[in-house]
Amino acid sequence: MSITIRHLGKRYGERVALRDVNLEVCDGELVCLLGPSGCGKSTLLNIVAGLLDPSGGDVLIDGESVVRTHPKYRGIGMVFQDYALYPHMSVEENVMFPLRVGEHRVARREALVRARRFMRLTGIEDLARLRPGSLSGGQQQRVAVARALVQEPRVLLLDEPLSNLDARLRLSIREEIRRIVKATRVTTVFVTHDQEEALSIGDRIAVMDRGVIQQFAAPQDLYLDPANLFVARFMGSPVLNTFCLSYDGGRRVLAGDDFSVPLGVLDVSRFRRPVGEAESVLAAGGCVLGVRPEHFHLVGGSDGLADAGADRFPVVFGTLVESVEMIGRYAVVHFTADDERCRCVVDVRRAPRAGDRVLVGLDCVSVHVFDADGGRLY
């Protein structure tokens, strides 16, 4: 049961909510739509569900266009952020509800049998007689999932289903959702603004911004191989360090005030374009160097003596530690380089203290370079 989205657009008067969205979700796959609020991810989900009309383009489920089809014939199940459990019905009645309405309604007894099966799957059999009002957030969440699945839909749509839960519960429920979804093998689209959630749950993730899919890839690829500056910045925590460097064509060096990166030390195979072409784009100016926090290495302490490892890095510069944030196993070290506030991640046992002078080595091979439009060059 695949979902194909072709050239989908949505505009509200002047405002464009979605622009030429293309997406292919395979049978049984769990895809996350990830992006900041207002990026169009919920709009996209609602169009797939048939709760909004597209302004252009097509949505196909199993190769069949559904944009002119009523939601009830699309074969979808949906979970909402607020769960939308009917407060005047018991848990059991809520789960049975989809089976007891519409022209395909089934007999009460059969509905009960089917509802019980999904209540067992989601672990809420014991709550059958309770009203949603007396359940915890996590339990309500399970009821909502059971209700969405009870019709055995071709497609399950989840709209920010975890954002009303507290942090700890979110972790366990998201694993639970993945388990249930994989057990039923239903094709699933999961909308979230939380990258960690998306990374942990999705088979593939579509990162969206301003109505456009920025990149659609497996979680690790989004992080290691971002398509553009937006994705590189959006994925990863602490956030990517960025520097506006100028390119010195004569010396073939990306030059900054505190450090410079010679093009020679980069891995030629990682360039997205032929090196010559990339160089002319760099020469046009406005390029951005992106460095993940883990690609800065502290190679020298406050004594100013270089660590043995310093020579591993072609680029090394000295700076002053401004503050140190303890995250647990890691510490985030804040410093300034090239007028940018930078973050780097170090082992907590080797963390310096605020005010220390340190030497920072740059893992040049792993950096990213973006052109003036944010497109990836390296």
Q: Is residue 97 a contact residue for other proteins (CB under 8 A)?
A: yes
Choosing from 35, 57, 77, 219, the residue that interacts with other proteins (CB under 8 A) is 77
Question: CA-CA distance, 168 to 2, in Å (whole number)?
Answer: 33
Decide: 79 and 157 in contact? Cβ < 8 Å: yes
Tokens of 323: 């503050």
User: Exposed, middle or buried by CB within 10 Å (0-12, 13-18, 19+), for 139?
Assistant: buried
Q: Is residue 84 a contact residue for other proteins (CB under 8 A)?
A: yes
Smallest distance from other proteins to CB 111, Å? 12
Choosing from 4, 69, 260, 366, the residue that interacts with other proteins (CB under 8 A) is 69
Choosing from 27, 82, 126, 196, the residue that interacts with other proteins (CB under 8 A) is 82
Stretch that binds other proteins, among 84-92, 182-190, 207-215, 272-280 (CB under 8 A): 84-92
Q: Is residue 65 a contact residue for other proteins (CB under 8 A)?
A: no
Residues 108-147 that bind other proteins (CB under 8 A): 147
User: Exposed, middle or buried by CB within 10 Å (0-12, 13-18, 19+), for 3?
Assistant: buried
Q: Is residue 104 a contact residue for other proteins (CB under 8 A)?
A: yes
Per-residue binding string, other proteins, 147-166, x by CB under 8 A, is x---x---------------
Q: Within 10 A of 223 (CB to CB), how many other CB atoms are there?
A: 17
Residue by residue, DSSP assigns 36-74 as: STTSSHHHHHHHHHTSS--SEEEEEETTEE-TTS-GGGT
Question: CA-CA distance, 311 to 102, in Å (whole number)?
Answer: 72
Q: Is residue 214 a contact residue for other proteins (CB under 8 A)?
A: no
Stretch that binds other proteins, among 102-110, 228-236, 313-321, 367-375 (CB under 8 A): 102-110
Q: Is residue 78 a contact residue for other proteins (CB under 8 A)?
A: yes
Smallest distance from other proteins to CB 35, Å? 20
Decide: 230 and 247 in contact? Cβ < 8 Å: no
User: Exposed, middle or buried by CB within 10 Å (0-12, 13-18, 19+), for 48?
Assistant: buried
Q: Is residue 50 a contact residue for other proteins (CB under 8 A)?
A: yes
Binding footprint of other proteins on the chain (CB under 8 A): 46, 49-53, 68-73, 76-78, 80-82, 84, 86-88, 97-98, 101-104, 147, 151
